[in-house]
Amino acid sequence: KEIEILKTSNGKDLLIYGSGKLVSSLAKLNLIDEYRLWMHPVAIQKGRSFFGDFRDLPHIKLAFSRKFNSGVVLMCYKAD
């Protein structure tokens, strides 16, 4: 409930870095307006799903993407 109050109040944007459980919880409540995913050119054999155990993934659309000289790609998705 506190996040909903912060979201509707005037002020700066809220930003979350790398907290999968928190992002998953907020996404389930439709409290996230934008996802910015940074993809680094590395290969790993194991990892966690970004959206965890979601049954219904949030409806998002790619707003823009940007490729950097390092090979890193930024993808910005907006919630519908």
Q: What is the pLDDT of residue 8?
A: 80
- For residues 50 and 10, give the distance between their C-alpha atoms in angstroms, rounded to a whole number: 29
Looking up residue 60, the CATH number of its domain turns out to be: 3.40.430.10
Give residue 72's pLDDT.
95
Residue 73 pairs with which residues in a beta bridge?
A: 39, 67
Q: Where are the alpha helices (DSSP H) in 1-80?
A: 2-8, 20-28
Identify the domain containing residue 22 by its residue range. Answer: 2-79
Residue labelled with tokens 């109040």: 9
Give how many domains the chain has, as a whole number: 1
Structure tokens at 64: 């823009």
Tokens of 17: 């870095």
Token pair of 52, please? 């965890």
Q: What is the pLDDT of residue 48?
A: 67
pLDDT computed for residue 67 by the predictor: 97
pLDDT of residue 59: 84
Q: Tens digit of pLDDT per residue, the chain (80 long)? A: 777 787 788 877 778 877 777 887 888 888 888 989 888 888 777 776 666 666 666 788 999 999 999 999 999 999 88
